[in-house]
A and B are shown apart, each in its own frame.
Chain A
Amino acid sequence: MIGITRHAVYLPRHRIEREKIAAAHGGKPVLEGERTAIGFDEDALTLALEAVQGLDLPACGGIYFASTTAPYLERMNAALLATACDLPEEIAVADFAHSLRAGTVALMAALDRAAVGGQEPILVVAADVREASPESPEEQWFGDGAAAVAVGREHVVAAAKAWASVSDDFLDFVRRDKDERITSFASRFTVEGYCRIVGRAIARVLEKSGLRPSEIARVILPPLDPKMATRVASELGFRAEQVQETFLDRVGMLGCAMPLFLLSAALEQARPGDRILLVGYGSGADAVLFEVTPLIEGYVVRDPIAEQLRRGLRFPSYERFRKAREYFRHHEEGPVLSNVFYEKEEARTIRLRGTECGECGLRQFPPTRICQRCHSMTGLREVSLGRQGEVFTYTVDWLAASPMPPTVLAVVDIEGGGRLYVQVTDVEPSEVRIGMRVRLTLRRLGAGGGLYHYYWKCRPEGGEDG
């Protein structure tokens, strides 16, 4: 049996109400509710890493990263993700891009790999931070987010039964190499095209598996348009109650992460035996049929979607929302780092390696030749530090240069040992206190010399332990 063994989503903590966006342009919201939005230090890669960390897997056979908005166009983003997870070099990495179905394309590539007995599990992660023109409907109804699944043969909670694709160079949303923002062709015509193309992919999978639409418990249709969901479903032969809810009023359209996000949402509610039909759409369509296994009953979702929705922090203004998205387009004043320096630094600043003393057991960061406590010079070994901890002390600093002051800094005791001094992000300063539980999160610290400078910050712990 091959299929999904773990799943997780990550929604950036910031939100903006659509009323606020519409009001800034003197218009009315195209859709009720609010959307998720990145903070100034986030991008598709940092969202993806959060989703991967949410899988809570210590080891894997590879990482497939799907995004239409990956921060690097030349340099393997998945390799950077693997480094941040401190994974060994033998794993398989690949970037998937350029289409809203990049997430499902990556998923099917992982299924194909698992089907021929490749190393597993493959972590498939999709993340998007799509840019639409200010005043466009897309600025309101898009959201930012990431979702990840582990594809393997052991501990499968949703077995992949059949999958199929169709290719179609249909024009709906496009972005050229020189464009910062999408061009939208959305209209009733594109909805018709969506139904036609998705319908062909679904027909192929149902034919392969010998099922009728009525035998599907949940069909996952990533929306092409803010209001199309039920209309499309009936055209495709599904009843409204079979259709997975899309969270557009609280999240928005998450680009190529949407299918995996909705798959995770479906799995949070699924029961053994449920058939889930996942659709990916963009320049054609993918359809994957899953059957939920009895293992779903014991599966614990560490940070469920409802919890993440509950923790939202609303931007105080439309201007803040825009500034967060555009800050790094205009700011390159970070240091110019040589690749020689970067290579040396990688172990500590990206892999987050420290040293453990063989004599007294103290874990310390950055890596050291001589133990800080017992001064032992032998038996020290490099270790990967944990990614959770507790605030030992902190300050809220209004002097530090920041696009969104104040800067919260904390000394964090890492679970399993070691102590870090990092910025606290995604937080209301009044929330911070000594003893607060935090998770480490890789963020953009700066940019300069052709690179984004990623380093660890921490954020309040979410989920049941928050």
Chain B
Amino acid sequence: MAESLKDKVAVIGIGCTKFGELHDKSLSELMAEAALAAYEDAGIEPERVEAAWLGTFSPGFGGGKASVTLADALRLYGKPITRVENYCATGTDAFRNACLAVAAGVYEVVLVVGAEKLRDRPVRGLQREGTHPYLEAGSTPPGLFALAANRYFHRFGGDRHTLAKVAVKNHHNGALNPKAHFRMEVTEEQVLAAPLVAYPFGLYDCCPTTDGAAAVIICRADRARQFREDPVYVKGIGLAVETGWPFFDPTFEYIGFPATVAAAAEAYRMAGIRNPAREISVAEVHDCFTWTEIANYEDLGFCKKGEGRYFIEEGRSALAGDLPVNPSGGLKSFGHPIGASGVRMLTEIVLQLRGQAGARQVKNAELGLVHNLGGPGSVACVVVLGR
């Protein structure tokens, strides 16, 4: 059987920009801001970085497509840099690749940057570049997830009221977070009264289009204490890729995402987790749409399939619940600059494990989980971090 990454890699520095509509900042400015904060947090000089991974989904104006974007933003020349793109799992997959390199012993200190500038684009939402001109015509990200939400309701019950509870929770958490895109509470009534985007999703069921960047610095676990007293260790990572066209797959049930199930199984195997609902203290999961968070509860093993609605309705995923989910505010409230998100979620879990999460601090956080889900539920990455 495959080896485990458990306790071979440590996170020693994190940095994250304010997320939001950063109209006055370019992609490279955001990358630099996040990376400089991470250098400072790790207490290292830039020269210590031996290699870097850049996660960015969509080449924007002024770069993003290639590794040179990061090299120029940081004047990080003469070193190996790789750009990773894997739908919405871009940020966590960049981190995963960096971890593999460190675990292999090739590098000691590595930088991971995730960045995205969605607000510079001429259209709302994500462009469907690289997709087939006919076969996916009319597809939008909310529409793709709405297909699953409607089928899920058909199978297990629940409705827009169930979804609204996720929005209310994540807006509440985001209001506590100074770096979140949205810092406002919403009520269930406001959520339900908002304009429809793709039925059953209304405006507050959808994450915003956001600018932002985040960075982490990792090193060999056995060197981590040279840099800081409270390193956070990688316990397990799983990445799984399923079909990019679930809507053509006659066997796809549309009630959850096998990619998440497979990625979680691999991460749990490495981390030695048998009962995720009990062992994991806090999770940042991919709530691109409110229903996705409910599916994630189930696919990550926090509860049984079909019971995700009770997980939110009973308050189990609230900040004071027994498994707080998205204490940062989630993609819903913190914002979702695609390539940045996964790295940003890692920074949140690191803060939680260090006990530095302020007003949104989860009590006794020992083991934290990060989950990204990309494309129409096709690519999932799960990272487990611990003290």
Contact = CB atoms under 8 A, between A and B. Distances in A.
A390 B251 CA distance: 15
B276 interface: no
Contacts of B248: 364-366, 419-421
B306 to A, nearest CB: 16
A388 interface: no
Interface stretch (B3-11, B184-192, B196-204, B264-272): B196-204
Contacts of A373: 250-251
A419 B137 contact: no
B146 interface: yes
A296 to B, nearest CB: 41
A333 to B, nearest CB: 12
Interface string A370-402: 001100000000000000000011111111101
A13 interface: no
Given A396-B199, A398-B195, A409 B250 contact: no
Given A335-B133, A395-B147, A455-B134, A417 B250 contact: yes
Interface stretch (B87-95, B148-156, B320-328, B353-361): B148-156
B136 interface: yes
Given A396-B198, A419-B248, A420-B248, A434 B151 contact: yes
B124 interface: yes
Interface size for chain A: under 10, 10 to 19, 20 to 34, or 35 or more residues? 35 or more
**For the complex, would chain B's binding face be called helix, strand, loop or mixed by DSSP majority?**
loop
A423 interface: yes
Contact of A421 (B124, B125, B135, B142): B135
A453 interface: yes
From B137, B151, B197, B254, residue with most partner A Cβ within 10 Å: B137
B147 A445 contact: no
A117 interface: no
B125 A394 contact: no
Contacts of A237: none
B369 to A, nearest CB: 28
Interface string A287-327: 00000000000000000000000000000000000000000
A455 B195 CA distance: 30
Contacts of B24: none
B140 interface: yes
Nearest to A365: B248
A411 interface: yes
A446 B125 contact: no
Interface string A421-458: 10100000100001000000000011000000101000
B249 interface: yes
Contacts of B149: 395
Nearest to B198: A397
Nearest to A424: B138
B134 A453 contact: yes
B140 A400 contact: yes
B137 to A, nearest CB: 5
Contacts of B275: none
Interface residues of B, number: 33
A272 B149 CA distance: 55
A174 interface: no
A395 B250 contact: no
B125 A399 contact: yes
Nearest to A413: B250
B243 interface: yes
Given A399-B142, A400-B138, A445-B137, A419 B250 contact: yes
B226 interface: no
A407 interface: yes
Contacts of B198: 395-399
Interface in A329-371: 334-335, 337, 345, 349, 362-366
Interface string B47-71: 0000000000000000000000000
B137 A394 contact: no
A145 interface: no
A335 B251 CA distance: 31
B177 to A, nearest CB: 27
Contact of A394 (B134, B147, B197): B147
Contacts of B249: 364, 372, 419
A429 B200 CA distance: 12
B247 interface: yes
Contact of A372 (B136, B138, B251): B251
A418 interface: yes
A411 B195 CA distance: 24
Nearest to A411: B247
B364 interface: no
Contacts of A335: 133
Contacts of B148: 393
Contacts of A455: 134-135, 137
Given A337-B133, A394-B147, A395-B146, 4 more contacts: A335-B133, A397-B199, A411-B254, A455-B135
Interface of A: 334-335, 337, 345, 349, 362-366, 372-373, 392-400, 402, 406-407, 409, 411, 413, 417-421, 423, 429, 434, 445-446, 453, 455
Closest 10 CB pairs of A and B: A421-B247, A395-B146, A393-B151, A397-B143, A455-B134, A397-B198, A396-B199, A419-B250, A407-B138, A399-B140
23 contacts: A335-B133, A349-B135, A364-B249, A365-B248, A372-B249, A393-B147, A395-B198, A396-B196, A397-B140, A398-B195, A399-B125, A399-B142, A399-B143, A407-B138, A411-B247, A419-B247, A419-B248, A419-B249, A419-B250, A429-B199, A434-B154, A446-B137, A455-B134
